[in-house]
Amino acid sequence: MKDNQYFKRIPITDLKLDLYNPRLPRSKQGKDEKTVVEYMLLEASTLELMSAIGENDFFAGELLLVAPDENEKGKFIVIEGNRRLLAVKVLDNPDLATVKKIATKEIANNAKYKPQVLPCLEFNSRNDILKYLGFIHITGKKSWRLLEKARYLFELRNSENFKNNSFLTSSREIAKVIGSSSAYVKRLLIGFELYKIVEDEAFFKIDGLSDTNFSLNYFTDGLNKDNICNFINIDINSENPTENVEVDNLKKIAHWWFAKSEGQSRVSGDSEGLKLLNAVIGNPAALSAFEKGTSIYEAYELTNDIDSQFENKVKDALKAIEQAHSIMPKVNSFYNSVYNDLKTISRIAKNINEFKSKLEQDGDDF
């Protein structure tokens, strides 16, 4: 083991849940243990893990990563492995559960194994564990959700390891630690800063939006779009990218992405939706129309990008037809409406070609 790492077998009575775990929603972090236990039992597949450990015992190869509790001598905070710790604790004492009581008691009553001591890797401090977690959970095989990754990177950025570095330097150094690119790290850190603004503004009072269902990828992917960045006044290559954020425009984008009417948002957060929004934001007439209630597609038609959109749609359709044609010899039976669908495709293709010919004739000045 390295000088700052020590293998120990620690009684579960001396192991404590990490109340500031990056995987916990902000609304649950720092609360009492009861709040965290309830959340993990309801959201973290803890019951399935209880069943597995109760049936097969604790797998010694999955060490818990722990650091000494600074507030209680002889106790340890589990930085990595909270779900496994909770599963074992509830197996031993199902009364810890204030939700899922029936299920937890049934699993505990039927368990063959109820471990009392767990294999742990002790580090000197929480900071010593953070670098390792970055590789495992950001780029490794146990990947977290994007908001969890960003929350962790934010914590790492403000840890003793990096807090004295500039933003750009920290991004490069963190990228080396977790085996990723500095551009990716920058986007997650900036995206999380934007998320914190939204959170601080009570999610702009968007119905149903909270830290448990927020899609951070809308922001991180949007940071690849120049017009979206300019709209909210973000310079991703500066030392303080969110220093002068246009909160009013951030609010607009959040509403366009997350506020739903009849189950639909005004703009989807996928690659096509981001492309449409970026083009509309970059065109004053299109943006004005969109802000007045025009659909994103109608607003997009007012931009100069409609020609390339048309080309992409036709090429996508052609690719799909070619793929269907390539597997045709392997088809055992055609679906009922294939003939009508093919006729429709033919009719639309002829209509497009006729419209193209008409435009060319109208443009002939001879």
280 occurs within a structural domain? no
* Same domain flag for 254 and 343: no
Strand order in the sheet with 5-11: 5-11, 117-123, 64-68, 76-80, 15-17
Q: Which of 99, 124, 149 is the last residue of a domain?
A: 124
Flag whether 194 is in a domain. Answer: yes
Do 334 and 231 share a domain, yes or no? Answer: no
pLDDT at 177: 74
Q: What is the mean pLDDT of the segment spanning 97-110?
A: 91
Indicate if 256 and 161 belong to the same structural domain. Answer: yes
The count of structural domains within the chain is 3
Quote the percentage of the chain above a pLDDT of 90.
52
* Per-residue pLDDT at 27: 74
Q: Give the per-residue pLDDT at 197.
A: 96
**Are 108 and 188 in a shared domain?**
no
Predicted local distance difference test score (pLDDT) of residue 209: 93
Residues 115 and 61 in one domain: yes
Q: Cα separation of 97 and 90, whole Å?
A: 7
pLDDT at 138 over 70: no
Identify the band that residue 366 occupies on the pLDDT scale cut at 50, 70 and 90. very low
DSSP 218-239: HHHHHTT-HHHHHHHT--TTSS
User: Following CA atoms 312, 316, 321, 324 in sequence, which dihedral angle do they give, to the nearest 10 degrees?
Assistant: 170
pTM exceeds 0.75? no
Instruction: Say whether both 79 and 13 belong to one domain.
Output: yes
Same domain for 162 and 212, yes or no, is yes
Residue 51 has pLDDT above 80, yes or no: yes
Last residue in a domain, options 208, 233, 265? 265
- 313-364 pLDDT tens trace: 898 899 999 999 999 999 898 999 999 999 999 999 999 988 888 777 765 5
- Please report whether residue 46 resides in a domain: yes
Co-location of 259 and 313 in the same domain: no
Name the residue with tokens 């150094």: 173
146 assigned to some structural domain: no
User: What is the CB-side half-sphere exposure of residue 299 using CA atoms within 13 A?
Assistant: 25
Domain membership of residue 316 (yes or no) is yes
End residue of a domain, out of 107, 124, 141 = 124
Range of the domain at 194: 157-265
Q: Would you say residue 41 lies in a domain?
A: yes
Read off the pLDDT of each residue in 6-17 and give the average, rounded to a whole number. 92
Tell me: do 169 and 224 sit in the same domain. Answer: yes
Q: pLDDT by residue (tens digit) across 221-279?
A: 999 999 999 999 999 999 999 999 999 999 999 999 999 988 889 999 898 999 999 99
134 in any annotated domain: no
Does residue 129 lie in a domain region?
A: no
| Structure confidence by residue, pLDDT tens digits, 209-224 | 998 889 999 999 999 9
The reply to whether 348 and 256 lie within a common domain is: no
Q: pLDDT tens digit string along 268-313? A: 989 899 999 999 999 999 999 999 999 999 999 888 766 777 888 8
CATH number of the domain residue 57 falls in: 3.90.1530
In the predicted structure, residue 85 carries a pLDDT above the cut 80: yes
Summarised one tens digit per residue, pLDDT across range 158-210 is: 888 788 899 999 999 888 777 778 899 999 999 999 999 999 999 999 999 99
Whole-number mean pLDDT of the chain? 87
